[in-house]
Chains A and B, each alone.
Chain A
Amino acid sequence: MGKVLMKGNEAIGEAAIRAGCLNYFAYPITPQSEVAEYLSRRLPEAGGVFLQGESEVAVSYMIFGAAAAGARIFTTSSSPGISLMCEGISYIAAAQCPAVFVNIMRGGPGLGGILPSQADYFQATKGGGHGDYRMLVMAPASVQEAVEMVMTAFPLAEKYRNPVMILGDGLIGQMMEPVEFPDDLRSEPSNKDDWATNGMDTRRSDKRNLVKSLFLDPDQLNRNNLALKAKYDRMNREEVRYETYHMDLDYRVLIVSYGTMSRVCRTAIDNLAEEGIDVGMIRPQTLFPFPVQQVHDAAQKQSCVHVASIEMSMGQMVEDVQRALQGVKPVSWYGKCGGDVPTPEEIMEFVRTLL
């Protein structure tokens, strides 16, 4: 199939279907309601299940129930809705069920605004709900990348039996771009018979399955947490993804930026290069696991005097950048979090102040 012009939110819905996920529960919230509107038409036609839940809390448990019963399942929401889902996400992670959550972020805290933001970085990468859990978090910078990340999220969720989050900002959901749905990213749901509560007859077994998160015995709870930690450590080793820009140059400043923000940074980097200021960029595609080593190594370059975390938040990812650098180079943050994206000029101005 060739390229089609699609709005990000609709492309995300279509990508899930193409990835082999035919089950979706959600609750409307701007700026991502078009996913639900699109799928309310598309899923019945594709022989799938669409249900609008009564709240994001309920939706997160519909997701849990369906995932625990062995189905491929996903939902989409935006920041305030994701806050409500965090309860369910904690249980899903604890019970080790695969599910995909898409957060098309808007400004916060509180009701905030409906314009793009990246202020849910902590919530997504450090565990928004209670307890020691992590999600694998991927951050797309274009509609095409959102499609590809959604399609890869399902097998990854199943591989790790863990929730995976696509963390996009409002622009990713709202903008229209040409997209393609790569056939090679289709996948079959994995066999879940050894743990899913899909009915003993279904798996022709006398052994019943139990999906739970309660471990009253401290040793057992510790063991469950160690098992979760082993998975997160493995993600740190095997799933780090990032892209670089102008890294072959003798950059004086290294920018770390993701999502829509990184696209503006590219323009700023191009313009600065014309002025004779070389700037490189690492764009994390996975926020958890964060490219700690790669950022650290890139900052070691002799020419690099400063590292800047540029994000549409009041300084969240910057803490991971500092963690990566361990003090080897100075780190600054620049960003805005009201809904408008910093302009290339604003970024250029900021970079000049670092030199």
Chain B
Amino acid sequence: MGKTFQRPEALSDAVTHYCPGCTHGIIHRLIAEVIDELGIRGRTVGVAPVGCAVLAYNYFTFDFQEAAHGRAPAMATGIKRVRPDLMVFTYQGDGDLASIGMGEIVHAANRGEKFTTIFVNNAVYGMTGGQMAPTTMPNQRTTTSPFGRRVDEVGMPIKVAELLAALQTPGYIVRQTVISPKYIKRAKRAIKQAFTYQKEGRCYSFVEVVSTCPTNWGMTPMEAIQWTQDTMLPYYELGELKTPETTD
């Protein structure tokens, strides 16, 4: 009998630097599987963010560019405009995408740039030690909201998928999570759909993945999953917000 489970060709064999229980690793694997299944490794260029995934390129086996904080969508625009035949994706955290890079993501999406964004929403700035992000939950304690996020001072967390779905142009906007096998399957389907739309040259595609950061949440991996389920998912509702079919 042959192997039934192996490392995707698009994924390297490097040991990741991610913390135990961090969902970045799962999301990397899903992307690699999709790239293998679509047979696009040789024409894919990834754009890494500044955040915990800044070293994402160490875990993939295809071309990669490293952006400045928040600017990945502008870099992806540059690549895709001069080389529409390449498959391009940005991989971005919530501080990167929803704070410093909000301008770049909104305009890239609104222009309908034909690349894909994988948006990892873990409700904090992971890399810099757990500061408050635009996606931090009400009353959630972080290192810069030690008494909990006060919505009267800093507003409610930004629902990026809904915000982008309010624009007319972007074609595929979806939110999933990876906190259980059932959800992981759905997340993979969404990522594959997103890359497929890009391959067909159809539209901009955006997959938000509600994720965990046990280290900065001060939780065990299991507690983090439970907290995601109980606190984040009721606010960040899962599902397709927009498909090219609903837009057309």
Q: How far is the CA of A25 from the CA of B75 in the complex (A)?
A: 12
Specify which chain A residues have a CB less than 8 angstroms from the CB of B150 in the assembled complex. Answer: none
Asked if A83 is at the interface (CB within 8 A of a chain B CB), the reply is no
Q: How far is the CA of A288 from the CA of B27 in the complex (A)?
A: 46
Asked if A222 is at the interface (CB within 8 A of a chain B CB), the reply is no
Specify which chain A residues have a CB less than 8 angstroms from the CB of B71 in the assembled complex. Answer: 57-58, 61, 64, 88
Asked if B218 is at the interface (CB within 8 A of a chain A CB), the reply is no
Contact B77 A51 (CB under 8 A): yes
* Interface stretch (choices B81-89, B202-210, B223-231): B81-89
Contact B65 A68 (CB under 8 A): yes
Given contacts A88-B68, A88-B71, A200-B42, contact A210 B78 (CB under 8 A): no
Q: How far is the CA of A64 from the CA of B65 in the complex (A)?
A: 9
Question: What's the least CB distance linking B41 to chain A, in Å?
Answer: 7
Contact A65 B76 (CB under 8 A): yes
* Interface stretch (choices A211-219, A239-247, A340-348): A211-219
Specify which chain A residues have a CB less than 8 angstroms from the CB of B43 in the assembled complex. Answer: 199-202
Q: How far is the CA of A88 from the CA of B66 in the complex (A)?
A: 12
Digit string of A184-208 for contact with B (CB within 8 Å is 1, else 0)?
0000000000000111111000001
Given contacts A54-B107, A55-B103, A71-B83, contact A199 B66 (CB under 8 A): no
Q: How far is the CA of A209 from the CA of B43 in the complex (A)?
A: 12
Asked if A176 is at the interface (CB within 8 A of a chain B CB), the reply is no
Q: How far is the CA of A294 from the CA of B107 in the complex (A)?
A: 48
Contact A65 B65 (CB under 8 A): yes
B59-83 residues at the A interface, CB under 8 angstroms: 60-68, 71, 74-79, 81-83
Specify which chain B residues have a CB less than 8 angstroms from the CB of A214 in the assembled complex. Answer: 54-55, 66
The contact of A212 among B44, B60, B66, B78, by CB within 8 Å, is B66
Task: Kindly state the interface size class of chain B when it binds its partner.
Answer: 20 to 34
Q: How far is the CA of A209 from the CA of B79 in the complex (A)?
A: 14
Given contacts A53-B74, A199-B45, A208-B62, contact A58 B86 (CB under 8 A): no
Question: What's the least CB distance linking B115 to chain A, in Å?
Answer: 10
Specify which chain B residues have a CB less than 8 angstroms from the CB of A63 in the assembled complex. Answer: 78
Question: What's the least CB distance linking B175 to chain A, in Å?
Answer: 24
Most buried by B among A57, A73, A88, A209: A57
Asked if B36 is at the interface (CB within 8 A of a chain A CB), the reply is no
Contact B78 A65 (CB under 8 A): yes
Specify which chain B residues have a CB less than 8 angstroms from the CB of A87 in the assembled complex. Answer: 68
Asked if A124 is at the interface (CB within 8 A of a chain B CB), the reply is no
Most buried by A among B67, B75, B104: B75
Asked if A258 is at the interface (CB within 8 A of a chain B CB), the reply is no
Contact B75 A62 (CB under 8 A): yes
Q: How far is the CA of A198 from the CA of B83 in the complex (A)?
A: 8
Asked if A256 is at the interface (CB within 8 A of a chain B CB), the reply is no
Q: How far is the CA of A303 from the CA of B96 in the complex (A)?
A: 61
A91-137 residues at the B interface, CB under 8 angstroms: 91, 95
Q: How far is the CA of A76 from the CA of B63 in the complex (A)?
A: 28
Contact B65 A58 (CB under 8 A): no
Contact A66 B79 (CB under 8 A): yes
Contact B81 A62 (CB under 8 A): yes
Q: How far is the CA of A63 from the CA of B81 in the complex (A)?
A: 11
Question: What's the least CB distance linking B195 to chain A, in Å?
Answer: 15
Which residue of chain B has its CB nearest to the CB of A66? B78
Contact A61 B104 (CB under 8 A): yes
Asked if B190 is at the interface (CB within 8 A of a chain A CB), the reply is no
Asked if A49 is at the interface (CB within 8 A of a chain B CB), the reply is yes
Specify which chain A residues have a CB less than 8 angstroms from the CB of B67 in the assembled complex. Answer: 61, 64
Specify which chain B residues have a CB less than 8 angstroms from the CB of A64 in the assembled complex. Answer: 65, 67, 71, 74-75, 78
Q: How far is the CA of A67 from the CA of B42 in the complex (A)?
A: 19
Specify which chain A residues have a CB less than 8 angstroms from the CB of B83 in the assembled complex. Answer: 69-71, 198-199
Contact B103 A69 (CB under 8 A): no
Given contacts A58-B71, A87-B68, A91-B68, contact A65 B77 (CB under 8 A): yes
Specify which chain B residues have a CB less than 8 angstroms from the CB of A53 in the assembled complex. Answer: 74, 77, 107
Contact B86 A199 (CB under 8 A): yes
Which residue of chain A has its CB nearest to the CB of B54? A214
The contact of A69 among B42, B45, B57, B107, by CB within 8 Å, is B45
CB pairs A–B below 8 angstroms (17 shown): A49-B82, A53-B74, A57-B71, A58-B103, A61-B68, A62-B77, A64-B67, A64-B74, A65-B47, A65-B77, A69-B45, A69-B79, A197-B64, A200-B41, A200-B42, A213-B66, A214-B55
Given contacts A25-B81, A61-B78, A210-B64, 17 further A-B contacts (CB under 8 A): A25-B78, A49-B82, A53-B77, A54-B107, A57-B103, A62-B74, A62-B77, A63-B78, A64-B65, A66-B78, A69-B45, A70-B83, A71-B83, A201-B42, A202-B43, A213-B66, A214-B66
- Chain A residues close to B by CB (< 8 Å): 23, 25, 49, 51, 53-55, 57-71, 73, 87-88, 91, 95, 197-202, 208-214
The 8 closest A-B pairs by CB, nearest first: A65-B78, A65-B75, A61-B74, A201-B42, A212-B66, A62-B78, A66-B78, A197-B63
- Chain B residues close to A by CB (< 8 Å): 41-45, 47-48, 54-55, 57, 60-68, 71, 74-79, 81-83, 85-86, 103-104, 107
